[in-house]
Each structure stands twice: as structure tokens, then as C-alpha cells.
């Protein structure tokens, strides 16, 4: 999975781009103002919702400031309004991209373990390490990289096979 940090100003474009590929999971903080969802989901800081043009939802629209769609909850349709500011992460099941919007991430949700409490004996260098890390893109090795057995074979090449000792007589 490729984890990217996104800008809130590009959220609509990112969502539409990923929707063009297929199913997108959006992570919604339902506590934000303007969120319209079934009552049983209100107050949930991390509600995952699947969106896809292939679901053929007639009223599914992505606006500049919100997403509107009649979504199914326990086999019951409910017209939902989700402000883009309430969406703090989106991920594509097809492209395996996940985009996190740090400025919209709920304060009580962390992508990382909480740092240890600052001790009085810390040096300034150690104190700087307690700040939350920034998200960075890391590359994942492809499957075609050398396996340890193949490396061993490259280092100790086998001698070429010997010629056979039989001759063809005509």
C-alpha cells in the first residue's frame, strides 16, 4: 500500500481520480458539523464508507465541498451528506493508494504510537524526537528483486557442463 500525505485543497480531485479506477474507501469523522448519516453512526470518529461509480447510485455526486449519495446501511437506504472536511483519508482498493489529510485527521486518532512522555533528563536532541513524525512515501521493493538463493548462485557460478563423451557414428 502506498501511503501519501494529501492537501485538503486537492481532496476532491484525488477522490474523483481514485473513483475512476474503482472502489474507494473514505474515512469519515462523523462528529464534524454538516455530516448527515444514520443515527447509529453519529459520534464515530472513524467510519469507513465504500464509494464506487459502479454501485450505480443515482444521486451520487462529488461537489466542491461535500459528497452526497444514498448509501445502504443494514439494507436500508439513507441519503448521506459528507462534507469533504469530514473525510480525513481515502484509499483505493484498485491502485492500493491511501491518501491521508493530516489537517483533517481527528485529534484523538493517531497513525503512529504516542511518543513517550518527556523526561526532565532529556537533552534537546532527544526532546526533538518526541514530535509526531511526518508521513512520507516509501518505496516497496518489487517482486522481481533477487532472492537470497539467486544471489548465492550469482556469487558462486556453477562451472559450464562438460561435453558428453559419446560420439554419433553414422
Retrieve residue 128's grid coordinates: 526533538
pLDDT for residue 87: 97
Across 47-70, average pLDDT: 96
Q: Over the stretch 107-125, which tens digit does the pLDDT of each residue have?
A: 887 665 444 444 444 444 4
CA atoms of 36 and 95, how far apart (whole Å): 29
27 has a pLDDT exceeding 60: yes
Q: How much is the pLDDT for 40?
A: 95
Buried/exposed 119-150: b ≥16 CB within 10 Å, e otherwise: eeeeeeeeeeeeeeeebeeeeeeeeeeeeeee
Q: What is the pLDDT of residues 149-163, one digit of tens each?
A: 554 455 556 777 777
Q: What fold does the segment set 2-108 form as a domain? A: SH3 type barrels. (2.30.30)
Whole-model pTM: value is 0.64
- Between strands 76-83 and 66-73, the pairing is antiparallel
> What letter would DSSP give residue 97?
E
In this predicted structure, the answer to whether residue 93 has a pLDDT above a threshold of 70 is: yes
| Residue 135 pLDDT > 90 | no
pLDDT tens across 6-20, in order?
A: 999 999 999 999 999
Looking at residue 114, what is its pLDDT? 43
Query: Is 95:15 a contact under the CB 8 Å cutoff?
Result: no
Amino acid at each position: 500500500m502506498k501511503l501519501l500525505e494529501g492537501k485538503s485543497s486537492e481532496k476532491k480531485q484525488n477522490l474523483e481520480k481514485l473513483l475512476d479506477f474503482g472502489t474507494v474507501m473514505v474515512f469519515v469523522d462523523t462528529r464534524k458539523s454538516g455530516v448527515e448519516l444514520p443515527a447509529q453512526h453519529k459520534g464515530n470518529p472513524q467510519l469507513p464508507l465504500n464509494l464506487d461509480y459502479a454501485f450505480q447510485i443515482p444521486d451520487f455526486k462529488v461537489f466542491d465541498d461535500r459528497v452526497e449519495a444514498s448509501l445502504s446501511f443494514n439494507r436500508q437506504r439513507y441519503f448521506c451528506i459528507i462534507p469533504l472536511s469530514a473525510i480525513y483519508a481515502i484509499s483505493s482498493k484498485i491502485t492500493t493508494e491511501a491518501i491521508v489529510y493530516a489537517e483533517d485527521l481527528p485529534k484523538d486518532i493517531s497513525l503512529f504510537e504516542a511518543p513517550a512522555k518527556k523526561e526532565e533528563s532529556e537533552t534537546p536532541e532527544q526532546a526533538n524526537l518526541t514530535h509526531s513524525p511526518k508521513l512520507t512515501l516509501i518505496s516497496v521493493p518489487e517482486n522481481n528483486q533477487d532472492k537470497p538463493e539467486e544471489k548465492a548462485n550469482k556469487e558462486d557460478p556453477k562451472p559450464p557442463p562438460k561435453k558428453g563423451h559419446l560420439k554419433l557414428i553414422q
